[in-house]
Structure 1
Amino acid sequence: MDLSYSPEEERFRAEVRQFLEQKLPAEMSEAMRLGRSIGKEGHDRWHAILNEQGWLAPNWPVQFGGCAWNAVQRHIFEEECCRAHAPRIVPFGLSMLAPVLQKFGSKAQQDHYLPRILSGEDWWCQGYSEPGAGSDLASLKTRAVREGDHYVVNGQKTWTTLGQYANWIFCLVRTDPDAKQQQGISFLLIDMDTPGIEVRPIILLDGTHEVNEIWFTDVKVPVENLVGEENKGWTYAKYLLTHERTNIAGVGFSRAGLEAVKRMARAQMHRGRPLIENPHFAARLAQAEIDLMAMATTNLRIISRAAAGQAPGVESSMLKVKGTEIRQEINDLARRAAGVYAMPFASEAVESGNEPGLGPEGSEAVAAQYFNNRKLSIFGGSNEIQKNIIAKVKLGGRA
């Protein structure tokens, strides 16, 4: 069973599918299917292709250069991109910073930064988490002290995804150490080429360099790079996080992953029969598909509210929890379906993958995806924290 679509929506799906067939580079699609990195150059290339088509910012209002698709169109686009193994659009500038600037930024900030996000001239990363402030983000220690027409920033950010490519970072910094935690935080835009910034790589379990530590030592940031009001950054941070957690749901990626699991399970034999016929495996697969169908419907409802100008509320936490649980379950099912072909563990083996053709189709990417996606239930606010938020909001503080 699947969601039903109107004839107009099906025509839009056909348009998206035709675009992907004509414009998505075959070698890029194959790399994504095999779980291999396309690097900054690949992401920049796909970014430019979508921008030329006018489809780069489906959630942006038209006046800022977006295409203002409705919730169903955005769902269809994501679904088709995942089915075609298109790269995921890097979200930090487009889907996280841009909504904050559009709602809280000055006219000068909107006019300067938003076009540069679309053109790809600026690559943004997110400066939120710190060694002692992950899920408890409001306890962050990075300081910004105002001195005349600039702030002086000192501190450290960690788990900064793709920070090695970024030329700008949006940061939460503490501007009033004497205020309550949430009341003394500001939102700054910082040029990564500013003296005093050091990027240190963190190598993950799957052998990749995806995240970083960012160190700030007496970094001078112009006052005009403050978004909104000083000490009101927590309000802007919460607004951004609702968008981040909604995006983390990854419905399209889960759909594509589920189909890959089915293909592998049909090809992999277990006691003389295809694994997909094994009752225990089939039951887990069916439950994952049921959960995904329910989440897809919820996701559409929340995106519809966001498109109407309402920031997602506690529902974004619900999507974050369920979405990451489903993706991790699919990763585990894929690992089981791939059998011995999911065994690479050493970073060199994980990075290179199995030789194509050694196992069921898609098994080359299983190990790397399984190890890497253990992070899903932690980043963007751990699932345990999200459950506390849900309980507090829905149970009136009786969590």
Structure 2
Amino acid sequence: MDLNYTEEERAFRDEVRAFLEEKLPKATADKVRRGQELTKEDMESWHAILNERGWLAPNWPAEWGGCEWDAVQKHIFEEEAARASAPRVIPFGLSMLAPVLMKFGTEEQKRHFLPRILSGEDWWCQGYSEPGAGSDLASLKTRAVREGDHYIVNGQKTWTTLGQYADWIFCLVRTDPDVKQQEGISFLLIDMNSPGIEVRPIILLDGVHEVNEVFFDNVRVPVENLVGEENKGWTYAKYLLTHERTNIAGVGASQAGLDTVKRMARAEMQGGRPLIANPHFAARLAQAEIDLKALATTNLRVVSQTAKGGAPGLEASMLKVKGTIIRQEINDLARRAAGPYAMPFPSEAVEGDNDPIGPDYAGKTASQYFNNRKLSIFGGSNEIQRGIIAKVSLGGMK
């Protein structure tokens, strides 16, 4: 693989940089740079800006409003957006549900939901994990019983990211309790405004309300909101998770984080010597950069294969494991480089118009370090992914 950009790719990179400089709201970028919590309006505004430019759905086919970027263009955009401190695009509708609907959904579901995902009219969240059913997702217990033209849903989901904002949730539910666990699961689309749904916040260690518990009490869901066939939801769930795991690799975010650590390490410390002069720290930083370069190359290969119509399989697990390890290592290096300024300060000390405590690059290091400990767990824990890699690579599992 030639890692040097072509003249056309360099021109595209310049176009992306110009777009970000002109259209990315400065107030939003400052929040991202300082590690402050984004509002729903911040995220919706960036969604709308990208949609207006036609750059919101790089992997979607043109017939549904996608821009059909190739792997290199997508990589360039993600890298430049991360460096410019653009907010992440919320993936649940765009990158997770949409591929499932395009492959397994009915024409009516595609025509109704896909345009609303692009427009931002519908905000989606993911209903997979449950208490006792996270890495072992097949043991989920949320139950859906068919009664005429509806399913009656009862149960609980947890760690539902940004569920407090969602209009809809795509959910794995058990529709047949008498068969093998994976064979009795269905994939439902549920309106979050349905009677019987309750959302309760979970406040994280850094004080942020990012995730939730969602409870279902006799929630009525129309049968036409079933995706694909009843009891085939495990197949659709695995297809979705391969896309999620590829996204979790987070090459652009890791590159932006690495650039920040380099700036921190080269800054003059109190004793007059920059941290980069410490051979132990310099060696860790160099190893992280080497690993990230290898990850970026592998990610380009996998995304290229996906663009040709396939879904990443074993490679998605590899990207997920290595990508999360690298991001956590970069978070730890940033925390060490920030020194005492990386202490977890009360959120009110760094929010609003308050000046940052210490250098402006240090304010988000504690929050990111703590929050990103989850990366090795969600989307299928790294331990589970290593098991998948071992089984598939040894020929014992397809």
1:82 and 2:69 matched: no
TM alignment of 1:57-68, pairs within 5 A = 57-68=57-68
Identity %: 77
Q: CA deviation at 1:360?
A: 3.5
Query: The residue matched to 1:262 in structure 2 has which SS?
Result: helix
Residue 32 of structure 1: aligned partner: 32
Q: CA deviation at 1:63?
A: 1.1
Q: Which runs of 5+ in 2 are unaligned?
A: none
- Could you tell me how far apart the structure 1 residues matched to 2:280 and 2:375 are? 25
TM alignment of 1:230-241, pairs within 5 A = 230-241=230-241
1:319 and 2:319 matched: yes
- Could you tell me how far apart the structure 2 residues matched to 1:65 and 1:247 are? 20
Q: CA deviation at 1:3?
A: 3.2
Residue 127 of structure 2: aligned partner: 127
- Could you tell me how far apart the structure 1 residues matched to 2:16 and 2:249 are? 21
- Could you tell me how far apart the structure 2 residues matched to 1:346 and 1:397 are? 50
Q: CA deviation at 1:265?
A: 1.1
1:136 and 2:119 matched: no
Q: CA deviation at 1:98?
A: 0.2
Whether the 8 Å contact between 1:71 and 1:307 is mirrored in structure 2 is yes
Q: CA deviation at 1:353?
A: 11
- Deviation sequence 1:273-327 (CA, Å, 0-9, x none): 1001110000000000000000000000000011000100110010000100000
1:369 and 2:382 matched: no
Whether the 8 Å contact between 1:353 and 1:364 is mirrored in structure 2 is no
Residue 46 of structure 2: aligned partner: 46
Query: The residue matched to 1:200 in structure 2 has which SS?
Result: strand
Residue 175 of structure 2: aligned partner: 175
Query: The residue matched to 1:21 in structure 2 has which SS?
Result: helix
Query: The residue matched to 1:218 in structure 2 has which SS?
Result: strand
Residue 385 of structure 1: aligned partner: 384
Look up the equivalent residue of 1:102 and give its one-letter code: M
Query: The residue matched to 1:193 in structure 2 has which SS?
Result: coil
- Deviation sequence 1:77-110 (CA, Å, 0-9, x none): 1011011110000000000000000000000000
Q: CA deviation at 1:395?
A: 1.4
Query: The residue matched to 2:152 in structure 1 has which SS?
Result: strand
Give every structure 1 segment of 4 or more consecutive aligned residues whose post-TM-superposition deviation is greater than 4 Å. 345-354
- Could you tell me how far apart the structure 2 residues matched to 1:268 and 1:361 are? 15
Q: CA deviation at 1:272?
A: 3.5
- Deviation sequence 1:225-268 (CA, Å, 0-9, x none): 00000000000000000000000000000000001011111115
Residue 95 of structure 1: aligned partner: 95
Report the count of equivalent residues. 396
Structure 2 vs 1, CA of residues 185 and 376 (structure 1 numbering), >3 Å: closer, same or farther? same
TM-score using structure 1 length: 0.97
Whether the 8 Å contact between 1:350 and 1:367 is mirrored in structure 2 is no
Whether the 8 Å contact between 1:350 and 1:368 is mirrored in structure 2 is no
Whether the 8 Å contact between 1:268 and 1:337 is mirrored in structure 2 is no
- Could you tell me how far apart the structure 2 residues matched to 1:353 and 1:377 are? 34
Structure 2 vs 1, CA of residues 53 and 146 (structure 1 numbering), >3 Å: closer, same or farther? same
Structure 2 vs 1, CA of residues 45 and 98 (structure 1 numbering), >3 Å: closer, same or farther? same
Query: The residue matched to 1:338 in structure 2 has which SS?
Result: helix
- Deviation sequence 1:315-362 (CA, Å, 0-9, x none): 001000010000000000000000111112556557679833x53341
Q: Which runs of 5+ in 1 are unaligned?
A: none
Give the aligned CA root-mean-square deviation in angstroms.
Answer: 1.5
Whether the 8 Å contact between 1:249 and 1:323 is mirrored in structure 2 is yes
Whether the 8 Å contact between 2:34 and 2:360 is mirrored in structure 1 is no
- Could you tell me how far apart the structure 2 residues matched to 1:273 and 1:243 are? 44
Residue 301 of structure 1: aligned partner: 301
